[in-house]
Chains A and B, each alone.
Chain A
Amino acid sequence: MDAVIIIFITGLIGLFVGMLKKSELTLAVTSIGLIGGFISMFLINDYESIFSTYAGLTFSRTQQMFALLAIGLTLLAVLMGYVYYKEEDEHTADYYGLILFSLTGALCLIGFSNMFMFFLGLEILSIPIYVLVGIQKGNSLASEASVKYFFTGSFATAIMLFGIALIYGSTGSFDLNEIRMAIDMGMSHSPMLNIGVLMMMAAFMFKVGAVPFHFWGPDVYQGSSNAVMAYMASVVKLAALFAFVHLFNFTFNQLTPFVSGLVLFAIIVSLFLGYISALKQTSFRRMMAYSSIANTGFALFAVLNQQFGEASLWIFMIGYACSTVALVTINMIVEKDTDELTNWKGIGYSNPLIGITLVISLLSMSGIPPFTGFFGKYLLLSSAFANYLPFVVLAIIASLIGAYLYLRLMVISLSREGEGQKIKMTAIQALVLVLCLAGVLGGWLVLLIK
């Protein structure tokens, strides 16, 4: 609770500080606020809050872990965006403010325990993103992306509300516990409830970007700046996936056998469509968009795993998000006028930090041990192994195509052709790369603690 408030207030203060047009100062305030939020979230159970507790927003151990990850990833996005946004003094503070507001929504989406909080969180998370995507006003691609995202997003929101209304109509409650009890009492075959759940699932699939609700992904990723894209690929996806998994594992757990067919279908189609479409892309960000669709496919296995779904998702997301942020940061460093993949030629040799981060991130994305990406995929697939064997096999085949995709990017960046070019990197970008590298290399060590 405190963390949410700290981050929200920091966002407000940041907007005022932004009037001074000193981007370093804004960054400092934002970072301090994020670190403060992180600490208060970390110690959430260890001190007495001055705010009275609100039953709609509670953080269990797992939710706390997800919230910490979200705050940490936001910090990375904020740091990497600095280089880009300091050139536009007009918008620096807008950028930080919007990201912090969006994070507030993400935290609500992680800590929700009734449908009010859930819907509020979802909207607070999304609306700043519509703005952030279009924040480069001169860029026509950005405006197009923003409008597309907004329209499809509102559509999805409407569907979501429709679903919530149907669920309320059938169970008579917004509270997750009460809904669950109602389902346990024998509601599970009520058509109204089932349709409501399916509507919610459709909206969720839009938010996480699974097929066939994925169309916004490539256009929006391409239109937005690197920093916003990194934030979307990490925090937004994390929060939406968590809410999805949490809702379906905890509240609608009776319905898992009912929805499993659709989820599996979405998984397989997302995996194959994502990876296969990514193969032919020439733009880095479009490629990452398709790769994110495919990775969503993997993450959705968590929906079917009631026992360890959330924990597996956490490990998977730390691997995926850290690799993605690292790659996007590198793209930001090497980007010239366009974000064509040809920019990447030979950059593996330009700087040891870039080279190592690049190789390890890509290996982790391909699912090669002992990096975090492997453990995430392993946990997700191993729990699905017993019940959904054919789908696990298909997922592994798809992940082979994925490995081909990532290794090809590695081949491009390690080709001798562009060797020797000078690449400028600021200290903050180096810091982001080091942090991501630490996450990719050591994120799975959390498994040992649990």
Chain B
Amino acid sequence: MGKDLLLLTLISLPLIGAAINGVLGKKMPKLIVGSLATIMVFVSFLIGLTLFSGLDKTTIVHLFQVAKFDDFTLDANFQIDSLSIWMTLIITGIGSLIHLFSMGYMSHDEGYHKFFTYLNLFIFSMLLLVLGSNYFVLFFGWEGVGICSYLLIGFHYNDAEKGIANSLAARKAFIMNRIGDAGLLFALFMMLNKFHTLEFVEIGKMITASPELYTGIACAITLCLFLAATGKSAQIPLFTWLPDAMAGPTPVSALIHAATMVTAGIYLTVRSNFLFELAPTTKDIILVIGIATTVVAAFIAMRQNDIKKVLAYSTVSQLGLMFVALGMGAYTVALFHVTTHAFFKALLFLGSGSVIHAMSDEQDIRKMGGLSKLTPITHITFLIGTLAIAGFPFLSGFFSKDEILAHAWMSSPIVYGILMIAVTMTAIYMFRLYFLVFHGSFRGGEKLKSHVHESGLSMTIPLMVLAVLSVFGGILNLPGIVFHNAGHWMSHFLESTTYGLNQIETEHMDGKQSIILMCIASVVALSVMTWAYITYVKKQAVAKEDADMNAWEKLSSNKLYIDELYQTIFVQPILWLSTTLGSQFEQRVLNNGIFRLTSAIEASGNYTRKWQSGFLSSYLFWMVMGIIGFISYYIIKSTFWN
């Protein structure tokens, strides 16, 4: 099979899975529904591997023309290059593991087939997003993942207790994303206006040919693109939806709100690197926003008591870290962190899912404790995930974070210093979470304790695979201190065929400095670990109740009051405007006006129908009048018509 056929199969398999499950899923046994969805994604992964191994140059596959206008066309084109294939591998690889996990996790759920339909649809949209060769297809995927995310966050919308909250969370995510989407649309229109095409490579070539022509517009476009990225990737100011999105089932949080969809903003930025390179202002803004997000989110995460909320804020914080890398122009480094983060954050979320499953849907860490003996596999894998994200030496997170820190050090020691604070906070909240959940004594009561059990194989296998990946993921992009030839393999791979990246020189730090930085990072991670161990295990400290907190802790626990702020500044005035318009304008002006108008028109019917008298003589009279009218028209017209 040719590459194009392989690619089309790769994209369409999840869609076929969604179609089959969507139409027939209700009548099929759960095992078949789940397996079908999982296999579809897994086969896509295998095809992705095939394409990956045969990758030599950028290939563009033309599927069909969507629309043609005077000076531009919109095509459904797909692009095979190192960036798109790399993202495909992450999406389908992690996606199939999470599908497998969901087969166990969702086994008691009524909407089983619906869940897998949405998941497959999500994978399809995500593949469109990363494989499209122009912003148009990307936009399709972008909106597709948005709607899937909405559907999945509100998946339990009819839950007796949390149904309303779930729906509100879904709505919030959707609205926040729409704000970002508006940015993307603006960027698209500007690009169409300026370049008359939306193809990545063509725009890139135009810019490379004469960069000085485009500096002004590039700044505007990239700002809009970045607005889109802040929506999808949950950066300040649009980040509040992501923690709420944890209302969705846990596999969804793992797949969509940690590993794949939220990295779409980073993908978008890396894909448009040629534009961002022209706009240093935008890059500075990205850097600042990234730093702010990573610190703020890490701060909030320290005093959250919902196991998934901690991980959610941690995701926001890590995404901020990636944007810091993007702001410094280190595109491949950001993608390296995307990759390792996908491994360990998926692992952590699935681990938390396993915990929640074991705890009969209890998510409050104050009610957990001592789970290490009750759920041994979950415990070990969760520990690995924690160590990876906290930057324990030689695990995947250690390497990827170290790269970002190294770049920060090269750009400015202040940035480095702030990032170190964020990294330290990351270690603190993660170890706090880990020790509170798995060590100490069980705080949920005897009744709950008797139900706690280790999850089934379909849930533990993905955990183990992800744990292995989290440990060894760093090999992908070693700093090249020991094995010089193996170093920065991933950066070189991505730069090989992705347009734009091959023209950007990524600086790498020399050996001595990077060893020093690594040592600092290791020391921080290890000391935080020891401190947390002493606090939470030796001293048996438990998360405080709200009343006992000091001001800082309250600030963190209440998420810096950002939700309340947005509520006051944006939501309330809009609601007020809406109700006012509804009661005043709609009721009084529109309703009355329209009813008056229609009754006036209907009433006029009473007059016009009287013309139809029923008398033949009158009909003939009017016909003659008509002809006389015609002749008079002629007379008038012929006087003036010449």
**Residues in chain A within 8 A of chain B (CB atoms):** 147-148, 151-152, 155-156, 159, 189, 191, 194-195, 198-199, 201-202, 205-206, 212-213, 215-216, 218-219, 257-258, 261-262, 273, 276-281, 401, 404
Contact = CB atoms under 8 A, between A and B. Distances in A.
A412 to B, nearest CB: 15
B625 to A, nearest CB: 7
B630 A277 contact: no
Nearest to B607: A276
A276 B608 contact: yes
B609 A152 contact: no
A316 B595 CA distance: 31
Contacts of A195: 631, 634
Contacts of A258: 637, 641
Contacts of A257: 641
User: Can you list the 6 inter-chain pairs with the closest CB atoms, starting with the nearest?
Assistant: A280-B605, A215-B619, A212-B626, A279-B605, A277-B608, A198-B630
A258 B616 CA distance: 32
Interface residues of B, number: 29
A281 B609 contact: yes
Contacts of A152: 616, 619-620, 623
B621 to A, nearest CB: 10
Interface centre among B630, B633, B637 (most CB of A within 10 A): B630
A351 B609 CA distance: 34
B608 A216 contact: no
A276 B605 contact: yes
Contacts of B631: 195, 198
Contact of A202 (B614, B616, B630, B642): B630
26 contacts: A148-B616, A148-B619, A151-B616, A155-B620, A159-B627, A191-B634, A194-B638, A198-B633, A199-B630, A202-B626, A212-B623, A212-B626, A215-B619, A215-B622, A257-B641, A258-B641, A262-B630, A276-B605, A277-B605, A277-B609, A277-B612, A278-B605, A279-B602, A279-B605, A280-B606, A404-B601
Interface of B: 598, 601-602, 604-606, 608-609, 611-612, 614, 616, 618-620, 622-623, 625-627, 629-631, 633-634, 637-638, 641-642
Contacts of B642: 189
A279 to B, nearest CB: 4
A261 B637 contact: yes
Contacts of A279: 601-602, 605
Contacts of B598: 404
Contact of B614 (A156, A219, A401): A219
Given A216-B619, A277-B609, A261 B633 contact: yes
A260 B625 CA distance: 19
A280 B602 contact: yes
B627 A199 contact: yes
B634 A198 contact: yes
Contacts of B637: 258, 261
A201 B630 CA distance: 9
A156 B620 CA distance: 10
Contacts of A216: 619
A159 B633 CA distance: 17
Nearest to B618: A215
A195 B633 CA distance: 10
Contact of B627 (A151, A194, A202): A202
Residue from the set B620, B634, B638 with the largest chain A CB neighbour count within 10 Å: B634
A253 to B, nearest CB: 16
Given A191-B638, A212-B625, 6 more contacts: A148-B619, A199-B627, A199-B630, A215-B619, A401-B601, A404-B601
Nearest to A289: B612
Most chain A Cβ neighbours within 10 Å, of B598, B604, B619: B619
A404 B604 CA distance: 14
A93 B379 CA distance: 90
Given A213-B623, A215-B619, A279-B602, A189 B638 contact: yes
A400 to B, nearest CB: 10
Nearest to B614: A219
A258 B630 CA distance: 12
A151 B620 contact: yes
Nearest to A262: B633
A147 B619 CA distance: 13
B616 A273 contact: no
A155 B605 contact: no
Nearest to B627: A202
Contacts of B625: 212
A202 B630 CA distance: 8
